[in-house]
């Protein structure tokens, strides 16, 4: 096993951000700030972390992240389009090199959400544009959230080492 295989992916992301002198910001919904928390738990985070928002409600997505109410009504809060807008607008708001967004339905109830429990969209905005990834995670709420956080770091890392 190599050192990189032993190192948690959040450390790998932070090392790459530092090495490449890049900054990152986050816009989280269903992960509730866990991505930002992991990023800021490392010393020197202010050199690469520009900031983050937890926009859990539709109103915060509209009023803080400037996402169109019509888009939310048409596509739903848990959608590729909303993940894309969240990442794009976080990147602009914080003036970061890269931004990540997460929106999804972590359950345990579907409520008024149209998307199946475990549906997660992760958006990554960078200079060249935005990519959005869709996942289905199973298990309880904590498992779904933890998988979304882990997958977010995996995606950021893959993007950084391209």
More confident site: 22 or 43: 22
> What pLDDT is attached to residue 4?
55
Average pLDDT over residues 34-60: 95
Q: How confident is the model at residue 36 (pLDDT cuts 50, 70, 90)?
A: very high
Q: How confident is the model at residue 115 (pLDDT cuts 50, 70, 90)?
A: confident
Average pLDDT over residues 116-126: 95
Average pLDDT, the chain: 93
Average pLDDT over residues 50-58: 96
Average pLDDT over residues 69-96: 96
pLDDT of 3 strictly over 60: no
> What pLDDT is attached to residue 1?
44
Q: Give the chain as a 3 state SS string.
A: CCHHHHCCHHHHHHHHHHHCCCCEEEEECCCCCHHHHHHHCCCCHHHCEEEEEECCCHHHHHHCCCCCHHHHHHHCCCCHHHHHHHHHHHHHHHCCCEEEEEEECCCCCCCCCCCCCCEEEEEEEECCEEEEEEEECCCCHHHHHHHHHHHHHHHHHHHHCC
């Amino acid at each position: 096993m190599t050192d990189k295989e032993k190192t948690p992916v959040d450390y790998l992301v932070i090392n790459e951000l530092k090495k490449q002198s890049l900054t990152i910001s986050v816009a989280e919904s269903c992960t509730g700030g866990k991505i930002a928390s992991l990023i800021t738990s490392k010393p020197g985070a202010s050199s690469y972390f520009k900031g983050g928002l937890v926009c859990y409600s539709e109103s915060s997505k509209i009023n803080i992240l400037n996402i169109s109410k019509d888009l939310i009504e048409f596509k739903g809060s848990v959608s590729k389009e909303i993940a894309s807008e969240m990442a794009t607008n976080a990147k602009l708001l914080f003036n970061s090199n890269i931004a990540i967004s997460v929106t999804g339905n972590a359950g345990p109830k579907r409520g008024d959400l149209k998307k199946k429990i475990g549906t997660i969209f992760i958006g990554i905005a960078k200079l060249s544009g935005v990519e959005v990834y869709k996942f289905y995670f199973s298990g309880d709420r904590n498992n779904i959230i933890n998988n979304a956080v882990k997958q977010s770091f995996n995606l950021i890392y893959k993007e950084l080492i391209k």
